Amino acid sequence: MFFTAVSSPLITSFFSFNLETKKAEMSLSGKDKTVVKAFWDKVAPKTAEIGGEALGRMLTSYPQTKTYFSHWSDLSPESAQVKKHGATIMGAIGDAIGKIDDLQGALSKLSELHAFKLRVDPANFRILAHNIILVLAMYYPADFTPEVHVSIDKFLQNLALALSEKYR
Amino acid sequence: MVKWTEEERRIIRGVWEKVDIDEIGEELWARALIVYPWIDRYFGSFGDIFTTTAILKNPKLAALGKVVLSALDTAVKNMDNFKALYAPLSRQHYEKIKVDPDNFRLLAECITITIACKLRAELNPQVQATWQKFLSAVVEAMNSQYK
């Protein structure tokens, strides 16, 4: 009896309206995409280095993140393992920028990996994003204006969302 | 309150020495409002803060930036007991301005990013970790009267 009452057209359209607005929440505008692509082109020569730095700083400033890397012998910022993995991450981000119109599709396999194999708590994506942003600001202070900052922040947030897609 | 080591005190003072309160103060709120535009809910009396251009030249925002950094200066100079010193500020933000305390975290991140633009490689991983630890303690102090 309760369920037939709930399935009235008004209520159905209310729920689907909310689902639609949820999907559109803070999504990337055309301007965001342009800004992100242009900035990434600029920083392309240094992305590997930036990735290594960002990962090293994440492990130093947020020691709880080290729990995911207990299989590495050296978790310091100078570690070759850290630098290599940071470069790998930035490579994947660069690939995602190439498919910025369909991040969910682009990250589907990586999402499965993080969800089922690595089982990284998605809260950590925000932490890594903060460190990537900080290192970008350090390397390109004049270019990392507030407008570039917001577009990159939004992009990384959308990336994190796509990466969390397969979790549950 | 946190027990700071000599090394941590040295690092925090070292970062703070390089911060020009006027310069960083001017940029701070501009970055926060552009990156987290919902913060403008607290700025009804600040005039035009609705476009990037307006935000970047709003004198009230620049002035407020200096106010915030002066308060941070108090924390740097009183590292062992700023939680007590911040209690009235915390109460003011809770009862009068009614600020969601999550914004303290957002502003702290903006402060760190703005300082990173200035200090660049001098903000090495160890310095970043210590500076962020300090700002977390400041954020905690700002949260202390929210009850």
Contact check, Cβ <8 Å, A61/B52: no
Sequence spans of domains, chain B: 6-143
| Domain A30-164 top-level CATH class | mainly alpha
- pTM strictly above 0.90: no
CB-based contacts of B132: which residues, under 8 Å, 6+ apart?
A61, B108, B112
B-chain CB neighbours of A137 within 8 Å are: 113, 116-117
- ipTM at complex level: 0.82
State how far residue A127 is from chain B, nearest Cα, in angstroms. Answer: 11
Nearest CA in chain B to A133: B113
* C-alpha to C-alpha distances, A129 to A32, A54, A112, B30, nearest whole angstrom: 16, 9, 20, 21
Residue ranges per structural domain of chain A? 30-164
- CATH number belonging to domain B6-143: 1.10.490.10
Inter-chain residue contact A134 with B121, CB threshold 8 Å: no
Closest by Cβ to B35, choosing from A60, A61, A146: A146
Q: Residue A23 has what pLDDT? A: 46
The one-letter amino acid code at A119 reads R
SS (H, E, C) A15-81: HHHHHHHHHHCCCCCHHHHHHHHHHHHHHHHHHHHHHHHHHHHHHHHCHHHHHHHCCCCCCCCCCHH
Nearest residue of chain B to residue A154 (CA atoms)? B35
* pLDDT per residue as tens digits for the range A44-62: 999 999 999 999 999 999 9
- Distance from C-alpha of B23 to C-alpha of B25, rounded to nearest angstrom: 5
pLDDT reported for residue A18: 40
Q: What pLDDT score was predicted for residue A6?
A: 45
Element (H, E) at A137: helix A123-139
